[in-house]
Structure 1
Amino acid sequence: MIEKDASGLAQAVREGHLSAFELVQETIERAEEVNPTINAISSRRYEEALKEAQERDLTDLPFAGVPIFLKDLGQEQAGQVSTAGSRLFRSVVSKQSDNYVKALEKLGFIVLGRTNTPEFGFKNISDSLLQGKVNLPDDISRNAGGSSGGAAALLSAGAVSLAPASDGGGSIRIPASFNGLIGLKPTRGRIPVGPDSFRGWQGASVNFALTKSVRDTRRLLYYFQTCQMESPFILPELSYQSLFMAKNKPLTIAVQTESPIGGEVSADAIAAVEAAAHFLEKAGHKIVYLDKQIIDGVEAMKTYYLMNSVETAAMFDKIEAAFGREMTLLDMELMTWAIFQSGQKIPAKDYSAALSKWDQYSHQMAVFHETYDLLLTPTTAGPAPKHDQFLLSDDLQQKLIQMAEFDQQEQQELIWEMFSESLDWTPYTQQANLTGQPSISLPTYRNEQGLSLGIQLTAAKGREDLLLQIAELFEKEGQFK
């Protein structure tokens, strides 16, 4: 068992071995000690947190007094600045807490502030013009990943015991891979949504957290889960029996290392999966190597970018109404501008067709899981990238500035080109967001340079219990690196 995980700290608070005030104070000190090196914190509410630690009744709460930083993208807390990594929102204060944050508070967590994220969460790295780059604690010449980069770096650096995060295309699992953490993306509909946004990115985006222990992941999932009837995605809750008391059974696990979009995969990423498959086979599980992709990865990503374009255009309609003026390139980063403009020319029938394909992918994966319990892949095709590794060419940047002048097909081709290098680095995570399946990154491998690469396991909808079964096996057998 990992010492001083969130569950252990909460137990110490409940039993009186440690006060919530002491815990919050110590966490603030650690966070301020490491932050100048990693640049993970975007805002602070330390005085309020210390006051809460003294005054709140934390009796019997599962995460009593555990300090956390919210991700500065969504995860709205009343009275706190919420920038979404955007200079446009540098002074915007949330008027109400969302249901996710309310649920965290009800579990006993105490919020200390917010963590650095790329503008609107569009990237797999964190380097917003507003807050700057988030450094990987293991090698500050590299990026901690995105979009939950600040959350991952703060947890990896030992400042906190658990880090709220969100995942719209891998934003929990990608930084988990780079930072040597556990990153679960739950099934769509598992975690509370609303009251403003009920279908983030049409259900592709979900909130949860990054952790260092399977115990924290399991307990957080159990206490956090909901069957939210007002949500468009309703899911039965997992029973205590299925999460905590079910007997482990041999599973049939499919293995796929090739990139779903045909890109290059590092030898380290392949080695990580092969080592994991060998370990699982020795533990009694059946391993089957796949010789073809289950879903057309290129087609799937094209539908993902089309969705993102439309949702971004709709988001900026609301922003323009709130600000009372039209937005310009000066209001946002170039990538955001390009996605915003590309959403203006997509017909509703094309958007409907793209979402229908998501349903088809979901069906394909449901059929796949009739034969295979889990799918094992790399989480990322390589370790944390160097800062500025994915810089865009001057020619492409000029085209993105002029994005509005191109037709729909040309715009989508430019979006693909804009993301191509970074997507090649992280091609495995997005499909579970489209299908709504649960997927987890586990820290089972480090390369010769000591850099982490995660393995990813994906299950059928609603079967987080199987992911946690395997995660616990790796943890108990000392396989986490």
Structure 2
Amino acid sequence: MEGFNYKNYDGLGLAELVKRKEVHPKELVAEAIKTIELHNPKLNAVINKLYEKAESMTENVDFNGSFAGVPMLLKDLAQEMEGEKITFGSKVYQHHYAKVDSNYVKQVRKTGAIFMGQTNIPEFGLMGITEPAIYGPARNPWNTEHTPGGSSGGSAAAVASGMVPIAGANDGGGSIRIPAAYCGLFGLKPTRGRTPVGPLSGRSWQGAAIDLILSRSVRDSAVMLDALSMYEKGAAFHTLPFEGSYLSQLQSDFDRKLKIAYSIQSPLGNEVNADCKEAVIKTAKYLESLGHHVVEKEAPVDGRKIINSFLTMYFGEVAAHLTSLEEAIGRKVKMNDVETTTWIIGLIGKATSAEEFVLSLREWDIAALAMETFHETYDFYMTPTTAMLPAKIGELDPKSYEKLAMNLSGSLGMGGMLKRAGIVEQVAENNLKRTPFTQLANLTGQPAMTMPLHLSKEGLPVGVQFMAAKGREDLLYSLAGQLEKSDLSVPVQKNPFFH
């Protein structure tokens, strides 16, 4: 291991060293532990360390696996590991242990990856920032005063700082793409039904949420999607299998000039940060220079309806989760079991009618058809990944009067009044104004990716999002492979934790 620098390799690079017997998985685990212990006190990315289990896993590594012996982290949400604690970022689950491996974990095990621990998330994965009351805030390796995003914020901070080359992530409204953009990583949300959600559930957030990873290289993501793509018999949604290899798409040149539509206008009509706009415009000019046809054109959907539909699902899912908690903890859930905002969101969900919920789901289908028709003309739809740079830690906390109103209403169970007053919707929308571009792909079921293609004046990475038609992750990976090699690509190694 003389002269070996763990941080210099992506996941596949480390696996190659293992397969060539130039390094042993035990040595990689030792390097991962050393790096986590060095950086985690400042970043708070890892909340449950599984070092002994990781060391024991090195005894039985499948050297044929694509990530043989590679250290990785799992997200503390929907990535259950039998016998290990999983808290969903909430104190109410602090003594909860998984009874079985999730199908995600079962598939990842087959790659030979070594699980080092679990990463920090907002309570129940509900926010685009990672500041849970139980664990405290995760911080951005580019600037620790800022959030790494959410809900996969701990995973993003861990990968961007070099603790591990890959980490588990999932995305119900942007939770892979937002932290990837904020931390200078690659993140792809697959087509609905592409990766497993079971065995404890047949759908996640009505099909809006799906799992993959965060990574420093495009190829690590492609290989993990190859490994995770499967038919899951208990799943509510399935997508047509891809007959090739996603990894091979990275070397695939397009046999024609692409048609790309782009927009720098927020679907909510709010102002978009100048750096976020510039990232898209710069990328559009680059793609045009390659001979592709690039036009400014907004998606054929109503942005306000998309956000409202997302919020209706969001409120309903939280209400249902709080009700199902009663079975898990053996008693009725109380307000002080969860964070105040979570409790209030649940009350709003309980005050939302079945009619409203069904009507909101119909908007998903309307948008899905509109976007599939759109993609008959355009290969990609390009936008900023986020409308603003990452917020500072604590910046998005509810204001004192909002906290007072929520505490009072929550203690009185006044969900209907809160819903009519629109207080929670306003707080939610103020947060979503920062990230209004990502929810569309979750509702339509399309694949979408973000790439770090710009550095802001403040020295923070800026992501550019690309959406494609359902089932066309292959197109996204082909484009990502080209953009990763371009001068636009911002190396994550520029952040202070890589020095």
State TM-score, norm by structure 1.
Answer: 0.96
SS in 1 for 2:272: coil
Structure 1 window deviating more from structure 2 (366-375 vs 337-346): it is 337-346
- CA separation in 1, counterparts of 2:440 and 2:396? 22
- CA separation in 2, counterparts of 1:19 and 1:173? 33
Hey, what does 2:323 align to over in structure 1? 317
- Residue-by-residue CA offset, 1:69-126 (whole Å, 9 max, x unaligned): 1001110001111011101111211111110011111111110110000000111000
Hey, what does 1:222 align to over in structure 2? 226
SS in 2 for 1:135: coil
- CA separation in 1, counterparts of 2:221 and 2:266? 28
The one-letter amino acid paired with 1:47 is E
1:451 CA displacement: 0.5
- CA separation in 2, counterparts of 1:336 and 1:409? 13
Hey, what does 1:163 align to over in structure 2? 167
Preserved contact between residue 186 and residue 452 of structure 2 (Cα < 8 Å) = yes
- CA separation in 2, counterparts of 1:310 and 1:450? 39
Structure 1 window deviating more from structure 2 (77-86 vs 56-65): it is 56-65
1:294 CA displacement: 2.0
Instruction: Trace 1:368-379 onto structure 2 (pairs within 5 A).
Output: 368-379=374-385
Hey, what does 1:43 align to over in structure 2? 48
SS in 1 for 2:47: strand
1:142 CA displacement: 0.7
Hey, what does 2:400 align to over in structure 1? 394
1:436 CA displacement: 0.6
Preserved contact between residue 260 and residue 293 of structure 1 (Cα < 8 Å) = no
Structure 1 window deviating more from structure 2 (77-86 vs 382-391): it is 382-391
- Residue-by-residue CA offset, 1:355-409 (whole Å, 9 max, x unaligned): 1111111111111111111000000112211111112122222232305325278
- CA separation in 1, counterparts of 2:464 and 2:417? 36
- CA separation in 1, counterparts of 2:359 and 2:209? 19
- CA separation in 1, counterparts of 2:384 and 2:54? 38
Hey, what does 1:197 align to over in structure 2? 201
Hey, what does 1:31 align to over in structure 2? 36
Preserved contact between residue 196 and residue 230 of structure 2 (Cα < 8 Å) = yes
Structure 2, unpaired ranges of 5+: 1-6, 491-499
Preserved contact between residue 272 and residue 444 of structure 1 (Cα < 8 Å) = yes
Preserved contact between residue 10 and residue 62 of structure 1 (Cα < 8 Å) = yes
Hey, what does 1:471 align to over in structure 2? 480
The one-letter amino acid paired with 1:373 is D
- CA separation in 2, counterparts of 1:216 and 1:321? 38
- CA separation in 2, counterparts of 1:327 and 1:411? 24
Q: Which of the numbers 274, 277, 281 marks the counterpart of 2:281?
A: 274
Residues 1:155 and 1:57: Cα distance change in structure 2 (over 3 Å)? closer
- CA separation in 1, counterparts of 2:287 and 2:205? 35
Hey, what does 1:179 align to over in structure 2? 183
The one-letter amino acid paired with 1:156 is A
1:415 CA displacement: 2.6
Residue identity over aligned pairs, in percent, reads 38
- Residue-by-residue CA offset, 1:186-210 (whole Å, 9 max, x unaligned): 1111111200012100011111001
Query: 2:348 matched to 1:342?
Result: yes
Aligned length: 478
- Residue-by-residue CA offset, 1:37-96 (whole Å, 9 max, x unaligned): 10101101101111110x214121111011111001110001111011101111211111
The one-letter amino acid paired with 1:282 is S
State TM-score, norm by structure 2.
Answer: 0.93
- Residue-by-residue CA offset, 1:203-236 (whole Å, 9 max, x unaligned): 1111100111111122111222113243211112
Structure 1 window deviating more from structure 2 (402-411 vs 465-474): it is 402-411
Q: Which of the numbers 82, 90, 93 marks the counterpart of 2:94?
A: 90
SS in 1 for 2:465: strand
- CA separation in 2, counterparts of 1:283 and 1:221? 28
1:243 CA displacement: 5.4
Q: CA RMSD in A?
A: 1.6
SS in 2 for 1:271: helix
1:250 CA displacement: 1.8
